[in-house]
Amino acid sequence: MEDQIRNILKEHGRLASDAATLADNADLYQAGMTSHSSVNVMLALEAEFDVEFPDRMLKRAVFGSVASIRAAIEELTAA
């Protein structure tokens, strides 16, 4: 799952640093992700993991780090 998330960040996140080596808790917005690129990341994650983020998850913090994205995906795929 981790690799899939990092690949999506590499493709859609417009990060200034390498998505493969970013720390788990590194702030993706600090790393260069804009609001619009976070939307593209969100849509790519939904396609990759076949999930739909509920409204309560459509917020900045959920997509703020690799760790928080992983926690959200785990929650959605656990059911």
Partner 1 sequence: MTVAMTYDSKALYDELVANKLIIPTSVKGVFGRGAVFEDVLFHLNSKISRIAENDGAEVMLFPPTLDRKVFEKSGYLKSFPHLAGVVFSFCGSEAQHQDLVCCLAEGKPWAHTQTMTDVVLTPAACYPVYPSFTGTAPEQGRLVDMQNWVFRHEPSSEPTRMQAFRIREFVRVGTPQMVVEWRDMWLARGIQLLRDLGLPAESDVAADPFFGRGGRMLAANQKAASLKFEVLVPIISKENPTACCSFNYHEDHFGSSFDIRTADGAVAHTACLGFGLERICMGLFKHHGCDPLTWPNDIRDLLWG
CA distance 79 to 37: 28
Binding mask 12-51 for partner 1 (x = CB under 8 A): -----------------------xx-xxx-xx--------
Coil, strand or helix at 63: helix
CA distance 35 to 21: 22
Options 21, 55, 78, 79; binder of partner 1; rule CB under 8 A: 55
Q: Which residues bind partner 1 (CB under 8 A)?
A: 35-36, 38-40, 42-43, 53, 55, 58-60, 63
